[in-house]
Amino acid sequence: MRLGILGVCVLLFPLLAFAFPFGGQIGTIVPCYNNAIYANLGPPIGGPYIWTPSTRTYQFGPPRASGQWLLGLASAPYYCVVSIDPVIVWPGTHIDMMGSSGPSSPSRPTTDTNFGLGTGLGSGSGTAPSPLPGSSTSNTGRIGNVVISEVFHTVDSVHGTDPQNEWIELYNGALTPISLAGWSLSNSSSGAAITIPGDVIIPAGKFAILTSSSLTKSKWSIPADAQVILISSPIGGGLARAGDAVFLKGSTKNTIVDSVSWGSNTTAFTPAAPSVQSGHSVGRKTLSQDTNTASDWADIVTPTPGR
């Protein structure tokens, strides 16, 4: 009798018949080029799981943000195409059916709903909730995405010439490498964006320093595991000391992955981060949370590129 019932289940629900339960809090979440969403979950039954349009999805929709809880059934191996140039593929398990903790889970407004990695997810309008730029604190104890972590826009004579030796530090707080192919940087006053070189991949937990001058590296003690990336010119012709903003955008046009504004500029958030003196930088207080407010930022008297 039991075998007969199992046979009926296999005929009617072939995927669910071989499915197993899973559930946990999202630590890393990445939209895939193959119209899927990769979510690496923590306990109690964690691991890499992949949502697809064929997933039977209940209340609150697909996975959306680090810190969100997922619960459901998964079955067969599946793959997330993270990057197509170069080709980067992450394995996982296909999610057959699931529900989530919903919009009350940690999320970050005004960010890229595609994380700049494709057009198969969302509208690309840059409105919340977003996937990877999205947590206050993930279960790994650090930001689960790429963020702007420090901005040196007040170049003093010891550290070069303004604006050529300005630099922007990016931090990858995800658990996996992130390709910045097609990403760009811009500021508040200039509409022109500076494209980040397409071969840049930031390893998990590492930094990249972006500057327009090859001499910048010699002006600082930058750790060997931090990349120094040359961009074509100073952002916006130079960042304004009294007040400006920096926007990190994904490969999908006009979608913002992260941003910061300081001084008199409130484009990214209100109030803005503090304005700083010559030779100082504006930097994140911690790499374990991102509230998208000025409280994340501080005046760094001794800048720390790559740390």
Residue 175 binned pLDDT confidence (cut-offs 50, 70, 90)? confident
Burial of 71 (0-12, 13-18, 19+ CB in 10 A): middle
Tokens for 139? 């279960």
- Could you report the per-residue pLDDT of 88-111, keeping only the tens digit for each? 888 999 999 999 886 543 333 333
Domain boundaries, the chain: 20-104, 146-300
**pLDDT tops 50 at residue 301:** yes
Q: What is the pLDDT of the chain when averaged over all its residues?
A: 80
Q: Which residue has the higher pLDDT, 51 or 14?
A: 51
Architecture of domain 20-104: Beta Barrel (2.40)
Residue 32's SS3 state is coil
- End-to-end, the C-alpha distance of the chain in Å comes to 64
Residue 51 binned pLDDT confidence (cut-offs 50, 70, 90)? very high
Q: What is the mean pLDDT of residues 196-220?
A: 93
- Could you report the per-residue pLDDT of 119-164, keeping only the tens digit for each? 333 322 232 223 333 323 333 346 778 999 999 999 999 999 999 9
**pLDDT tops 50 at residue 194:** yes
From residue 89, give the alpha-carbon distance in Å to each of 86, 131, 141, 177: 10, 18, 25, 11
Architecture of domain 146-300: Sandwich (2.60)
Question: What pLDDT shows up at residue 198?
Answer: 81
Q: What is the mean pLDDT of residues 200-220?
A: 94
- Please list the alpha-helical segments (H only) found in the chain: 2-12, 14-17
Q: 23-32, 57-66, 212-221, 292-301: which has the minimum mean pLDDT?
A: 57-66
pTM of the model: 0.58
